[in-house]
Chains A and B, each alone.
Chain A
Amino acid sequence: MAWLTEILKAVLLTLVLFTYLAVVTAMFGVYLERKISGWIQARLGPKHVGPQGLLQTIADTVKLLQKEHITPRQADVLIFNAAPIMVAVAGLLDWVVIPFGRLGDRVLVVRDINIGVLYFSAMASLTVIGILAGGWASNNKYALLGGLRAASQMVSYEIPLALGILWVAMVAGTLSTVGIVEAQRGLWFIFSVPPFGVLAAVTFLTAATAEVNRVPFDLPEAESELVAGYFAEYTGMRFALFQLGEYAEAFAMAALAAIMFLGGWLEPNLPAWLWLTLGIAGVFVVVLLVVSGAARELILQPILILLALSTALCVIMFFGVQAGRSPVLPSPVWFFTKMFALVFFLIWMRWTYPRLRLDQLLNLSWKVLLPAGLLNLLITGFLITVAR
């Protein structure tokens, strides 16, 4: 009987998590990407469907559901169809070990697997199989090149990624994601063993960006040279599944970075006066924007909303800390704040750096990040050994 209830619970959780991925990471993620890209490029982004264009991606999904699936005559049909599903499922499996927060004694995580981060990196690298399969099965030259590039890039960056994870595992002394967050109660890992925590975080984030094929490491899908790379031949919902998998993966990487280096769901332990200063600065900027009339500019409105939200957060934190409440806000708030901050960072990077060349990309991985990661590991190990 116990088996049956566990299986039922697992099925329910799968449905919940899949819905979360489809709605929050894929739909809202695409919306965020388009809106922030629009803001960075001084244009509006989606704005007609729903308030501030919020429902645009839902409309897009409905549209994609009605689009014909075209399978190229020369394609390998079975693998061609399986590839997008594989990528989406790999994106889903990543999230099994991501803890969203802690309410009382319950940690909001699907399963706290004892080898959590190792499992995560294993599942994240499943994506490459799906991408390579899709690129190969299309029997399209662009797609094959995109798939091959994706494979070489993702295997190259797998190792710096793993070294970043190893650094955290070494400092925390555990591989469980929940354990890693709990180990940061005193100090977030990005600040511990300075400056090596920062170095590890930078190594990890760079490798993670490359691992999810985002700009400046978007060679596999470089629009201007490979059309769309490995999904050039995919239409309609199959294309959407690739997108879903990709966004699920990108968000999962952001979530893992937040968990490993930014304390996951833990509240930042800042003094009240700092919150007050931040809050006042935020209010000042908002008032300045409103008074100067800049707030009427449509382009500035999304960023004004973002600013107002962060200001509100600072003010709430100030009063909370002042009143002496220990966790002022429920922990998922902090997890999502940190995750979305990192997602924002990824989008920001997209419009800041041009795409790398393949040799530069591989050089960065093998000649910079790999030695840096190994040395970082050794030096930190040395410092920890000496400190005892």
Chain B
Amino acid sequence: MPKVIVDWLYVAVFAFVGTIMAALPLGIVWLLAPRADLPQKTLTYESGVIPFGQAWAQFNVRYYLFALIFVVFDVEVIYLYPWAVVFRQLGAFAFFEMVIFLSILLVGLAYAWRKGALEWA
């Protein structure tokens, strides 16, 4: 069997068995713990007052903006991984290639910065 396949077989088994293991204590609780449903108990917690409406309402769009910038840079970082691994074998050429790639991205960062996309207010 190729090693790579065994590696990911292990990861799959870990994910599967891990889920069962994590769910196990919940099963034990189901057996052991008391259950007494009271309407007040299942009320959403809001510092002791009766909750006003739902939590699923509008929230600040800033969270979304940061997620967008994140996607750009995360994809960039993924491109950097293979470069970093073979960097020593490729020599100066690879280095300057990456300088160009990174400076394009830094311009992007500077643009986002200038536009105020990195400000919270």
* Contacts from A to B (Cβ < 8 Å): 2-3, 6-7, 10-11, 13-15, 17-18, 65-75, 81, 84-85, 88-89, 92-93, 96, 110-115, 118-119, 136, 138-145, 148, 151-152, 155-156, 158-159, 162-163, 166, 169-170, 173-175, 227, 232-233, 236-238, 240-241, 244, 358-359, 362-363, 366-367, 370-371, 374, 377-378, 381-382, 384-385, 388
Contacts and interface: CB of A to CB of B under 8 A. Distances in A.
A90 B6 CA distance: 20
B35 to A, nearest CB: 6
Contact of B10 (A10, A114, A240): A10
A23 to B, nearest CB: 13
A68 B44 contact: no
B90 to A, nearest CB: 10
Closest 6 CB pairs of A and B: A359-B120, A10-B13, A155-B70, A170-B84, A14-B17, A169-B84
A72 B91 contact: no
Contacts, number: 220
B55 A144 contact: yes
Interface in B57-96: 59-60, 62-63, 66-67, 69-70, 73-74, 77, 80-81, 84-89, 91-92, 95
Given A175-B85, A378-B99, A72 B33 contact: no
B13 A11 contact: yes
Given A166-B81, A377-B102, A381-B87, 10 more contacts: A3-B1, A84-B22, A92-B21, A92-B22, A140-B44, A155-B74, A159-B77, A162-B77, A359-B119, A385-B92
A375 to B, nearest CB: 9
A145 B56 CA distance: 11
A376 to B, nearest CB: 12
A371 B73 CA distance: 12
Contacts of B67: 151-152, 155
Given A3-B1, A141-B46, A378-B102, A111 B63 contact: no
26 contacts: A13-B14, A14-B13, A14-B17, A15-B21, A68-B35, A69-B30, A73-B42, A75-B44, A85-B23, A89-B19, A89-B22, A114-B4, A115-B81, A138-B55, A140-B51, A142-B45, A142-B46, A148-B63, A151-B67, A155-B70, A155-B74, A169-B84, A238-B26, A384-B87, A385-B91, A388-B91
A111 B29 CA distance: 33
Interface of B: 1, 4, 6-11, 13-15, 17-19, 21-23, 25-26, 28-30, 32-36, 39, 41-47, 51, 54-56, 59-60, 62-63, 66-67, 69-70, 73-74, 77, 80-81, 84-89, 91-92, 95, 98-99, 102, 105-106, 109, 113, 118-121
B29 A236 contact: yes
A96 B26 CA distance: 24
Nearest to A125: B74
A139 B45 CA distance: 10
B14 A93 contact: yes
A141 B55 contact: yes
Contacts of B89: 173
User: For the complex, would chain A's binding face be called helix, strand, loop or mixed by DSSP majority?
Assistant: helix
A118 B79 CA distance: 12
B48 to A, nearest CB: 11
A173 B91 CA distance: 12
A174 B45 CA distance: 49
Contact of A363 (B11, B23, B118): B118
B28 A237 contact: yes
A145 B73 CA distance: 24
Given A72-B44, A359-B121, A139 B22 contact: no
A13 B47 CA distance: 44
A317 B86 CA distance: 38
A152 B120 CA distance: 11
A112 B41 CA distance: 48
Contact of A70 (B25, B39, B41, B99): B41
A70 B19 contact: no
Nearest to B27: A237
A65 B77 contact: no
A166 B80 contact: yes
Contact of B32 (A10, A65, A72, A163): A65
B45 A233 contact: yes
Given A68-B33, A89-B22, A233-B45, A152 B85 contact: no
A35 B45 CA distance: 30
B4 to A, nearest CB: 7
Contacts of A366: 69, 109, 113, 118
